[in-house]
Each structure stands twice: as structure tokens, then as C-alpha cells.
Amino acid sequence: MKLRSPLNDLQPGFNFRNTFQYNFKFDLPFIPQIELGEVTYGLCGGLCFGTLDFYFADIPIPDMKIVPPDGSPLWRFLWKRQFDSLIFPIVPVRVFLWMLLNDRKVAKKTL
């Protein structure tokens, strides 16, 4: 049985791309700082859960055309809802196991 929300394609969601940037660098003892440059990530679970939160609270979704800046209230909200959507440890483990499968096997499990 598939779960469905009361939302539909005609109702607006967040109006910016699910493309967030993070400048990834870290320090290790006795090794110079390692910088991996810009890392792009998405917050699909946070955007989905956040959209439902706004819908059920009967509050319009902020009409932003650009991704909220790191540390902003909306960014923090989306990150919190992203972690909520992961349902630790079940979803991260499942996604990791799917990463080991070929695309056809993943499609059979998820579609």
C-alpha cells in the first residue's frame, strides 16, 4: 500500500532548486588541512517533510527563488526535517545497501 499525502501538483512547494553547497574541509592531527572544495548536496527529505509541515499548519511556503543561505532559519529548519526523514538507522543503512546494487535491482525495490 502506497502512502499518499493530500498535496497535489497544483499546490506550490519550495520554489528553489534542491542544490545546496558546502565548502568541505577538515583538520587531522599532524596533517595539513584537507580541502575538498565545494560539495553539492540535496535535502529532499527535508523539503518533503517541510512542505507537509507548512501545508498542515496552513502557512504559505516562503516564496524564495534561491536556496536559503547556510545557517539561516529556513536552512536550519530544512536540515532538521532532513534528519527527521532519515529515521535512523533504518533509512541510511537501506540507502547504503542500495548503493551496492545495480540500478535495475534498486528500481525493483523502490518503484
Task: Output the pLDDT for position 109.
Answer: 79
Sign of CA dihedral 16, 23, 49, 2: positive
Give the chain's radius of gyration (CA, Å). Answer: 17
Structural domain boundaries in the chain: 20-110
Task: Output the pLDDT for position 79.
Answer: 96
CA distances 102 to 41, 90, 92, Å, are: 22, 20, 18
Task: Output the pLDDT for position 64.
Answer: 93
111 residues of the chain, pLDDT tens digit each: 566 777 777 677 899 999 998 876 667 788 777 776 777 899 999 999 999 999 999 999 999 999 999 999 999 999 999 999 998 889 889 888 988 999 998 888 777
Task: Output the pLDDT for position 26.
Answer: 66
Per residue, the 3-state secondary structure of the chain, as one string, reads: CCCCCCCCCCCCCCCCCCCEEEEEEEEECCEEEEEEEEEEECCHHHHHHHHHHHHHCCCCCCCCCCCCCCCCHHHHHHHHHHHHHHCCCHHHHHHHHHHCCCHHHHHHHHC
pTM (global) more than 0.75 = no
Task: Output the pLDDT for position 68.
Answer: 96
